[in-house]
Structure 1
Amino acid sequence: MHSLDHLVTLFFWLAVAALAFGTMRRARLWRAGAAAPFNWAQLLTVPRRYLVDVHHVVARDPYIARTHMLVAGGAVAAMALVALNYGLMLYRPLLNGALVLAAAVMLGGSYLVWQRRRAPLPRLSAGPWNRLPYTLAAFAFGLLALALLPSALLSGFFAALIMLALLAGTAELVLGIGTGGPMKHAVAGVLHLAFHPRAERFAPRAERFAMRSTALRPLDLAAPVLGVEKPTDFRWNQLLGFDACVQCGKCEAACPAFAAGQPLNPKKFIQDMVLGLSGGSDAAFAGSPYPGITLGGHSGGPEEPILPALLAPETLWSCTTCRACVEECPMQIEHVDAIIDLRRFQTLARGALPGKGPEMLGNLRETATQGGYDNAARYHWAVDLNVRQIRPGESVDVLLVAGEGAFDMRYQRSLRALVKLLQAASVDFAILGALEVDTGDTARRLGDEATFQAQAVRLIATLSTLTFGRILTADPHVFHSLKNEYPALGGHFTVLHHTVFLAGLASSGQLKLGATSETRTITYHDPCYLGRYNGETEAPRALLRQIGVRLTEMERSGLRGRCCGGGGGAPLTDIPGTQRIPDIRIADARATGAGLVAVACPGCTAMLEGVVGPRPEVIDVAELLAAALEGQA
């Protein structure tokens, strides 16, 4: 034992005190938010959520996975050993030996961080983040020297160097949380995992994929503030979640609006919410700005309105609600929930909805259709197909709900193909006919919770008077609303997407399909509201394999597929960019050499078919199956 041991002990407890003070200081900002459930016992969930859920996302990039395991694993082990050996004044050589191993692991991770920062990806933030390799390495070097050097050298000049190295590394962590530095995520991230606004995201994997946590929560329309106007209107655990951001930019790289040059970057959006929490200007942001909006022109504070001072309205309305940002976020931050909360205030309290949104909402309120149509015309496409319309008192196994797209002639081709398949499989089904109204999905995504709830209550009341076993729809947005969002308002139904239902019929032999005569290369586009929102990526592919299709997958597919640009009411708000999102998606399809893009959503069909110039043909999976059923391409 030598004098430096006692100095390290003193230094350790000072660092603990500084960390506690900084955490309490930051917690005061979080606590300024609105109420949310709280239970200290939730801290016990952190190890599993960190080791399973966080690393499930991190592992998609093997380099970063290795880096994170070395840095974080080494650092946590090292700090635990310092606490044990020096904090408790044991000063055991054996524990120092373990400390050497932990510090060496951390040093190896620091080297990998340095390598990544030498030629950083565009999505990575610079500024304070660029010092991390050096402060992390300084901490690891200090620990190695403390544990390895003989006692004779642990004094004077060498002792001062060791303490300076430990000070540099320790300050990064213990001061980071209080000052808002990069390492604040180490504390905020742990607490965020414990008190996450969507705790159901961390259910066992089988349950999580059976029902992904993607439904919006109902807004109390009697609340004094409808939605979020200022940072403190967010729930406190949402504010905590914003602080957990590591500015890795994976959300930025995944965002279709950012790729299209629209004024949205989900990473900067989260950092703007952090800025609003603590107050200040965005001039110091060290990442990619919103396309077309220069840094330094926006500022805010905890009690100041977020729009337009901190956030430009165009940024808010660029989002397609595709959840690509959420899917890619290693810290499990809920970007889309925050955007919808802000939209709710703008729409309900200010009436500040841009583009054709107000016209659509007016149509919904007057006619229960987005286009102002006569509901009786919703099923005109089926008049020659001998389709039964359900009546009160009658019983049917499958109730077909077409959705708003049924007024569109292109989608009607898909619906007709679906009906032919159901008839060929002798399914006992009926349609809603004039009883069907819009589900309110688009209104909700645009922030008009009042219209959504009115539509939902009306449709739930109608469905409750009817006798049926299951609801079937070919529209993923209708599917998501009925399956995941209506239960909160009392609508509990068994809902199936048409690809899932048809896949079941085909696998059981009830639907007999031949081989397709299609010779073109085929790729499949995953709808966001079927894939990311509901975890269904296999059923459409299984159906295509059933008719002999060998898919050529796009680079971004499955749960990581690129949005078509049609969600969240984006076609109505119509925020301009440097290119259109569907053009980017069609470019993805062209890169595969495909001559045909199979789809499973009327919105995706409309967006992709709207691309000007040479492009692959866009066909719903049901249309391909119907052609195989008939034995012709």
Structure 2
Amino acid sequence: MPETLLPILIFSALALAVIGAWRRIRLWRQGRPAEVDLLQGLAAMPRRYLVDLHHVVARDRAMSHTHVATAGGFVAAAVLMILVHGLGWTNPLLGGGLLVASATMFVGSLFVAKRRCDPPARLSRGPWMRLPKSLMAFSGGVFLITLSTLGLLPVEAGHWLAALVLAGLVTWGLGELFLGMTWGGPMKHAFAGALHLAFHRRPERFSAKGGGTGRSTGLKALDLDDTAVPLGVETPGDFTWNQLLGFDACVQCGRCEVACPAFAAGQPLNPKKLIQDMVVGMAGGSDANYAGSAYPSPGLGGKPVGEHSLERYGSPHGPIVAREGTALVDAGTLWSCTTCRACVEECPMMIEHVDAIVDMRRFLTLERGNTPGKGAEVLDNLIATDNPGGFDPGSRLHWAADLDLPLMADVQQAEVLLWLGDGAFDMRNQRTLRALVKILRAAGVDFAVLGTEERDSGDVARRLGDEATFQSLARRNIATLSKYRFQRIVTCDPHSFHVLGNEYGDFYPQGRDGRYDVAHHSTFISELHEGGRLTFRPWKGGSVTYHDPCYLGRYNGEYEAPRKVLAALGIQVAEMARSGFRSRCCGGGGGAPITDIPGKQRIPDMRMNDVKETGAELVAVGCPQCTAMLEGVVDAGAEVRDIAELVAEALVEHSTTQGTVRASRPATEEAIP
């Protein structure tokens, strides 16, 4: 009987899977067009899965092994099952391979079942709770039937009851694994996830052999001249089709919600729920079947699970944020995000949450003019004065009246262009800038500043969704930079560092390389010390911890240079529990202090609690926004100092100016913007 039933079951399931796959593809195709390389993406997909995706999954070693056993066992078992039981290619080699694959999958499913016995709060439940049973039914049934086919288990035609039981187990498993993969069950993440890796919105994120460069964090430029579509994303159908595909790949593991600072602070944002709401919008219907954590603080703008109306909401062409009343999400959910990319860093499916949030913010800002808090005032200031504080642009260098800083307009060329950033208008950050100038002069660096020609980099405008103001600032800054010759830009602001280095390239004049060689001041100081151009007195202060800025670390992968500088000062860093790529955000990015969405606690308060746990007396930082946020904590218990301030205090009076600093590009006519 198994020999008769199995081929029917297998090919029926495959036929239904094809129908279901086409249904999901039609859902994704509701999105806007996106250019992808189909053949290259499909060819690169296995490596992206085995290397890049598993690089993230392997951070939880137990789950990594479980995933390899379960997913790898299933793929091998499914292929061999079609050959052995579907096409009748019964031989000891294929049969033995099928036994090993199904047994491996069964062992993996046991670990899945163990995890689901008492699942962590971050895991979604509901339909996901039946998944280990389905995995065990499929793998166990295939294993026993294969034993029978090989003559190792006496399930004869007369034992029809046993045969039906085994066929029922396989049917149950096939229904979950094939139909659920493509029809909307828990296993749809496997089907969508594989194609998401192949047609990822950011193929640069993958390793070189996977078709990328290993890092991609700059926001995509918005075409402001395209009047055929709204600016930004108003409805789920306004996302690109591969973004919708990415949302569908979500496995609801909850790693993003654990990493999210806004979620921890009780603000109305849960990255996992947000992605699932986009899936509801794409497919239509309600979120009533969602069985994970809801948005925090319903009274502060969150939305209880199941509130969506079947008639009015959950439509691919309906509004994501309604002008009044309820829709898929509330505006406060989008404005809670600090754009720290902690969710993106932790996502095993490599979903781009921040891209989606900024796309939706763009619509609210550009089409509706609906930026909360002081957002509208800041954007007006940027338009009127080229800085978010509305300060007189002519006062940008007042803090340095006694420093006699060289101006690019006077010298025309220099080894280093010192980008001051809008910290030049802030009395606290002016101390950091003065310290950095002292360091550069001690090392004999040939540098100059733009002075009143410098404008805001546009970071805050872009994160608040005002792409028009950002592009205007970017183009005007590029026009200014193009007038002068320099090898490198150095700045103490990671946000300016990121925007200048990673986001200005889309707006550079055609035919020129738009990537400036930009360095964070901690990286440059480290190079100066290693080149013998700086020497320090030994550190004699108390214990020190270091806070990784999001836009330096997760956005640009720079974790070592600041620690090298601190080590050169003789400081042994007392690392916080959340440091490096898992550093907790200070709460200052993405315009969050401007929109000021309320929660149960403040993000910088949580970060200073992390500092207290180390017992450190001082927290070293490398970002003016981090400095402002952490110094704003009441009863912080630890002093906040920028790395440049610590270095400037430790400088030996007669630091050598011998040696050179390696530039990543030669100082030639072609290399200098």
Q: What is the letter of the counterpart of residue 536 of structure 1? A: E
Q: Aligned partners of 1:141, 1:381: CA distance in 2, in Å?
A: 74
Q: Aligned partners of 2:165, 2:127: CA distance in 1, in Å?
A: 23
Asked if structure 1 preserves the Cα contact closer than 8 Å seen for 2:281 and 2:316, the reply is yes
State the Cα distance separating 1:38 from its structure 2 match: 3.2
Give the aligned partner of residue 189 of structure 2: 185
Asked if structure 1 preserves the Cα contact closer than 8 Å seen for 2:45 and 2:210, the reply is no
State the Cα distance separating 1:428 from its structure 2 match: 0.4
State the Cα distance separating 1:39 from its structure 2 match: 3.3
Alpha-carbon RMSD? 1.5
State the Cα distance separating 1:389 from its structure 2 match: 1.6
Give the aligned partner of residue 19 of structure 2: 21
Deviations 1:592-627 (A, max 9, x none): 111111000000000011111142111101111111
Give the aligned partner of residue 5 of structure 2: 7
Q: Aligned partners of 2:23, 2:582: CA distance in 1, in Å?
A: 38
Match of 1:451, SS state, is: helix
Give the aligned partner of residue 315 of structure 1: 333
1:34 and 2:44 correspond: no
Q: Aligned partners of 1:207, 1:598: CA distance in 2, in Å?
A: 37
Give the aligned partner of residue 554 of structure 1: 576
Q: Aligned partners of 2:296, 2:491: CA distance in 1, in Å?
A: 37
1:169 and 2:173 correspond: yes
Q: What is the letter of the counterpart of residue 576 of structure 1? A: P
Bigger shift: 335-344 or 384-393?
384-393
Q: Aligned partners of 1:327, 1:48: CA distance in 2, in Å?
A: 19
Please list, as runs of the form range in 1=range in 2, the aligned pairs for 1:192-591 lying within 5 A after superposition: 192-204=196-208, 212-223=215-226, 224-293=229-298, 294-298=304-308, 299-308=313-322, 309-391=327-409, 394-490=412-508, 491-518=514-541, 520-591=542-613
Q: What is the letter of the counterpart of residue 290 of structure 1? A: Y
Q: What is the letter of the counterpart of residue 296 of structure 1? A: G
Deviations 1:432-470 (A, max 9, x none): 111111011100001000000001111111111122221
Asked if structure 1 preserves the Cα contact closer than 8 Å seen for 2:48 and 2:210, the reply is no
Q: Aligned partners of 1:412, 1:249: CA distance in 2, in Å?
A: 41
Q: Aligned partners of 1:253, 1:153: CA distance in 2, in Å?
A: 52
Match of 1:38, SS state, is: coil
TM-score, scaled relative to structure 2 = 0.91
State the Cα distance separating 1:44 from its structure 2 match: 1.2
Q: Aligned partners of 1:37, 1:206: CA distance in 2, in Å?
A: 18
Bigger shift: 243-252 or 99-108?
99-108
Give the aligned partner of residue 113 of structure 1: 112
Bigger shift: 3-12 or 370-379?
3-12
TM-score, scaled relative to structure 1 = 0.97
State the Cα distance separating 1:169 from its structure 2 match: 0.8
Q: Aligned partners of 1:152, 1:394: CA distance in 2, in Å?
A: 88
Give the aligned partner of residue 597 of structure 1: 619
Match of 2:269, SS state, is: coil
Match of 1:284, SS state, is: coil
Asked if structure 2 preserves the Cα contact closer than 8 Å seen for 1:392 and 1:466, the reply is no
Give the aligned partner of residue 53 of structure 1: 52
Q: What is the letter of the counterpart of residue 33 of structure 2? A: A
State the Cα distance separating 1:387 from its structure 2 match: 1.8
Q: Aligned partners of 2:479, 2:211: CA distance in 1, in Å?
A: 29
Asked if structure 2 preserves the Cα contact closer than 8 Å seen for 1:178 and 1:184, the reply is yes
Give the aligned partner of residue 136 of structure 1: 135
Runs of 4+ in 1 over 3 A off after TM superposition: 151-155, 205-209
State the Cα distance separating 1:104 from its structure 2 match: 1.2
Deviations 1:1-36 (A, max 9, x none): xx4223212211111111111000110010111001
Structure 1 residues 208 and 476, CA gap change in structure 2 (3 angstroms):
farther
Number of equivalent positions: 627
Deviations 1:91-137 (A, max 9, x none): 22332222111111111111111111111111000000011111101
Asked if structure 2 preserves the Cα contact closer than 8 Å seen for 1:425 and 1:512, the reply is no
Give the aligned partner of residue 657 of structure 2: none
Give the aligned partner of residue 621 of structure 1: 643
Give the aligned partner of residue 100 of structure 2: 101
Q: What is the letter of the counterpart of residue 251 of structure 2? A: V
Q: Which runs of 5+ in 1 are unaligned?
A: none
Asked if structure 2 preserves the Cα contact closer than 8 Å seen for 1:516 and 1:627, the reply is no
Asked if structure 2 preserves the Cα contact closer than 8 Å seen for 1:266 and 1:325, the reply is yes
Q: Which runs of 5+ in 2 are unaligned?
A: 299-303, 509-513, 654-673
State the Cα distance separating 1:575 from its structure 2 match: 0.2
Asked if structure 2 preserves the Cα contact closer than 8 Å seen for 1:393 and 1:467, the reply is no
Deviations 1:525-584 (A, max 9, x none): 000000000000000000000111001111111111110000000000000000000011
Q: What is the letter of the counterpart of residue 93 of structure 1? A: P
Give the aligned partner of residue 664 of structure 2: none
Q: Aligned partners of 1:615, 1:349: CA distance in 2, in Å?
A: 44
Q: Aligned partners of 1:307, 1:524: CA distance in 2, in Å?
A: 39
Q: Aligned partners of 2:636, 2:57: CA distance in 1, in Å?
A: 38
Q: Aligned partners of 2:623, 2:652: CA distance in 1, in Å?
A: 22
